Amino acid sequence: MNPQQHMRDIVHRIWSKLQALPQAGALEIGAFAVLLLFVAAFLFLVVISCTSCCSAKAQKPPKSPQRPDPRSAASLTPGAQPA
């Protein structure tokens, strides 16, 4: 079974469950509502985190190049004597 057929099968099963929801009992409706709420909350949090991350990157000023510390540069030169 190829992935496209597998996805169609899953969507068909979900669609048949949704069509049977008006005749479902209270427990099934409650479980569906909790599942739907969880998915909605997850998608909401993903959207919030993506927008806050992108806006934080857009507001950051570019980093200025930093000059190396002369004391650390002296220790990297060959033949340098430790102080």
Residues 21, 28: contact at Cβ < 8 Å? yes
Neighbours of 3 (CB within 10 A): 7
The pLDDT tens digits of the residues spanning 64-83 come to 777 766 666 555 556 655 55
Overall pTM surpassing 0.75 (yes/no): no
Q: Strand, coil or helix: what is 31?
A: helix
Listed as ranges, residues in the chain with pLDDT below 50 are none
